[in-house]
Amino acid sequence: MANFEPPFQEALKTLSLNSPQDAPSIDAAEEEFFELPLIHLRGLNGQEMERKKCIEVMARASREWGFFQIVDHGIPGELLKRLMSEQKRLFYHPFEEKSKQNFLNLANSYLWINPRATSLKQLSWSEAFRVSITDLSRMDESNNTLRQTIEDYAREATLLLQRLAEHLAEFLGMSSSYFRENCPPSSTHLRLNRYPPCPLSGKLHGLVPHTDSSFLTLVYQDQVGGLQLMKHGRWFSVKPASNALIINVGDLFQAMSNDVYKSVRHRVVAQGFERFSAACFYCPTAKALIQGFRGPAVYRPFTYGEYKEQIQEDVKSSGDKVGLPRFLQH
């Protein structure tokens, strides 16, 4: 095993011994393939009719799937390539180094296993770095190219996400200035994911089912595949499309749109091949208020700070995020 690889095999052995009864939890028969709506964003710069059509298709996908793919997104291919290669270089540091608390001076940004996992169902066959633009200023000087790349990408991604959020909000008659006022680039954060080749390909989670706590998330992935989303109680596999980026609706947009846009559960199924992805979460500042755009509101108003605190509390006590149901209006 290469020395950058976290000791997943050992974790797998321990968990299988702990809970042999619930051995591998994913059933391949559950899987269905489908093509996510693919949206050409050049339509946004076109004539009124074309612009309207493009926004309508995005809004429909956000309602029905909570997910869509975009091309002509304006993020330079060169920047995406740079992100991927910097990301690989980062993960190929020896495990001993990257798992240290002060690695690159990014306190606790590295994750490789759910420390509370007691069964195979809770195991994510992946490692990740969580970074925000604010953390980057602390990053050590020897990693200037990584720092520059993440900064460039986060800036471009935030602009794109802001633009899409504004269109989706306007479509429902919500205020679109909210995003400019409450979601500065410093609130955006990234999760760089690496999924090591898995000996139980198709049978373990690469990333356990979850919803994102953002307004919108932008996912850049390689061509390996493995991402699935839930619709009508079934898992659908997202086929990677070259040059396309994925957008998904997060909890905050669902709350603000009174459940019109859906923050859909998704997961990654572990594959026999190494896979990389980068998720960019478009979020507000901690004090920003999240409120249904017109009554009667499905959720009580809450600040993003409160939302994050509640998640931390729930994860601590039960190992899982509860999310929006905690904020339902009674």
Ligand X SMILES: O=C(O)CCC(=O)C(=O)O
Residues with catalytic function: 275
251 binds Fe ion (CB under 5 A): no
Near ligand X by CB under 6 A, which window of 36-44, 48-56, 134-142, 219-227?
Answer: 219-227
Question: 106: exposed, middle or buried (C-beta count within 10 Å: 0-12, 13-18, 19+)?
Answer: buried
Q: Is the dihedral of CA 184, 325, 168, 227 positive or negative?
A: positive
**Residue 267: which residues within 8 A CB-CB, separation 6 or more?**
205, 206, 207, 208, 209, 210, 227, 228, 235
Q: Which of 86, 135, 212, 251 binds Fe ion (CB under 5 A)?
A: 212
Residues 29-58 that bind ligand X (CB under 6 A): none
Among 227, 252, 269, 324, binds ligand X (CB under 6 A): 227
For the bound state, the minimum distance from the C-beta of residue 143 to Fe ion, rounded and expressed in Å, comes to 25
By the rule CB under 6 A, 268 interacts with ligand X: yes
296 cis-preceded (ω within 30 degrees of 0):
yes
> Rounded to the nearest whole angstrom, what is the least distance from the CB of residue 183 to Fe ion in the complex?
18
165 binds, among Fe ion, ligand X, none (CB under 5 to 8 A by kind): none
Residue 205 CB, shortest distance to ligand X, in Å, is 11
Q: In what order do the strands lie in the sheet with 38-40?
A: 38-40, 67-71, 245-249, 216-221, 275-282, 189-195, 127-132, 110-111
Question: Among ligand X, Fe ion, none, what does residue 161 contact (CB within 5–8 Å per kind)?
Answer: none
Show Cβ contacts of residue 258 under 8 Å, excluding neighbours closer than 6 positions.
Answer: 292, 293, 294, 297, 298, 299
Measured from the CB atom, the residue of 276 and 302 that comes closer to ligand X is 276
Residue numbers of the site for Fe ion (CB under 5 A)? 212
Residue numbers of the site for ligand X (CB under 6 A)? 191, 193, 207, 212, 219, 221, 227, 266, 268, 277, 279
